[in-house]
């Protein structure tokens, strides 16, 4: 696969996607979305990849939508086509049956913040800056910001960020629960990889079902969500990994999971 807007490498069970539009501040355009879409289809089929990291450069994770391209939209129908394509890809990231970690250094604004929100875990460098500034140019977030942000940090804090459009730094993002951890710029990738490696050691089927239950259950009433949880719990007792995990615990050794 030829990639122009991102780079991709894999090793130790981890796929690393690096946003690569330096002249455009890693801004989101149609080519970027198309390549990300194809790449996540490939990752979904790749049994050698158990966890994914999305990163940018040291100064810019992603500055949002490419205004040079979006600014040429002249009708609601064109806007619909653009924003639904972005949503489809971000939804694909969120629903991937493997954990996805955003390693955020520098600016994560607008669609860049929304890309991080679509990931399961967010690790921020000390220089990270987050924001949904769309209101300042007369639009609203269209790639999940109005929906994922309140679910993550609560209605009040999300409305403040969405209504005013100001940015917050890494420490504030950590305080309100937008990111899981803040580390130095130099340590960002090594710390993110440590988490990814831990995830590759977990039983794949149980990890997949955990992500499914959390993502689907949050949109259900409690009784339905608990029924889904119970069903997935039951299903895991048909796997070899469940038997190996419990046997290893009793024998006081590390389990060897095979994804079966």
The set of catalytic residues is 114, 134
**CA angle 170–174–179, rounded 5-degree value:** 90
Of 52, 98, 45, whose CA–CA distance to 209 is shortest?
A: 98
134 vs 85: CA distance, rounded Å: 18
Q: Which DSSP symbol is given to 60?
A: E
Of 53, 44, 32, whose CA–CA distance to 198 is shortest?
A: 53
Q: For residue 181, how far is the Cα from the chain centroid?
A: 14
* Contact between 99 and 53 (Cβ < 8 Å): no
CB neighbour list of residue 97: distance below 8 Å, 6 or more residues apart: 44, 208, 211, 212
The arrangement of strands across the sheet holding 168-169 comes to 60-62, 107-109, 129-131, 168-169
Q: Are β-strands 6-11 and 14-19 bridged in parallel, bridged antiparallel, or unpaired?
A: antiparallel
């Amino acid at each position: 696969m030829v990639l122009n807007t991102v780079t991709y490498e894999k090793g130790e069970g981890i796929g690393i996607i690096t946003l690569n539009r330096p002249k455009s501040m890693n801004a989101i355009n149609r080519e970027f979305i198309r390549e990300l879409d194809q790449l996540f289809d490939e990752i979904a089929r790749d049994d050698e990849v158990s966890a994914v990291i999305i990163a940018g450069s040291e100064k810019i994770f992603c500055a949002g939508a490419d205004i040079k391209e979006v600014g040429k939209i002249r009708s609601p129908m064109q806007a619909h086509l653009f924003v639904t394509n972005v949503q489809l890809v971000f939804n694909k990231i969120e629903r991937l049956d493997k954990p996805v970690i955003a390693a955020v250094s520098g600016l994560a604004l607008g669609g860049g913040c929304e890309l991080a929100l679509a990931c399961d875990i967010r690790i921020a460098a000390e220089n990270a800056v987050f924001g949904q500034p769309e209101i300042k140019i007369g639009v609203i977030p269209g790639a999940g910001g109005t929906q994922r942000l309140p679910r993550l940090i609560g209605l009040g804090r999300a409305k403040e960020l969405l209504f005013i459009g100001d940015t917050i730094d890494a420490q504030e993002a950590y305080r309100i629960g937008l990111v899981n951890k803040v580390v130095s710029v130099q340590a960002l990738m090594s710390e993110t990889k440590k988490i990814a490696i831990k995830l590759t050691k977990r039983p794949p089927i149980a990890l997949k079902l955990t992500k499914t239950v959390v993502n689907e259950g949050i949109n259900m009433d409690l009784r339905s969500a608990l029924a889904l949880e119970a069903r997935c719990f039951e299903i895991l007792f048909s796997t070899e990994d469940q038997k190996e995990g419990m046997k290893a615990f009793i024998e006081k050794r590390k389990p060897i999971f095979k994804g079966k």
